[in-house]
Amino acid sequence: MEHADGDLLTYIKDNGTLSQHLALVYMRQLSEAIKYLHNEKNIAHRDIKLANILLCSKHNCIKLADFGLSNFY
């Protein structure tokens, strides 16, 4: 299991708003993750929030976490 460097909520609280470039990178990665879950795995996450978006150690990628409320469809 990979080590996450924290979540997006804590990062924003500590550092303020994201730059436009970083926000676009994270949004693209999040949309790709949701697309993969829906189209390939037929999973609805149902609890996407800043606290469930984990950051990689270099803050250049995200991981979606907490599938406790997710559901197959």
Is 7 annotated in the active site?
A: no
β-pairing verdict for 71-72 and 62-64:
unpaired
Q: Which of 5, 7, 47, 66 is catalytic?
A: 47
Q: Is 62 exposed, middle or buried (0-12, 13-18, 19+ CB in 10 A)?
A: buried
Nearest to 50 by CA among 72, 18, 20, 3: 18
pTM of the model: 0.88
Tell me: the pLDDT tens digits for 38-65? 999 999 999 999 999 999 988 889 999 9
List 62's β-bridge partners, or say none. Answer: 55
* SS3 state at 7: strand
Q: What is the pLDDT of residue 1?
A: 60
Report which residue type is found at 56: C
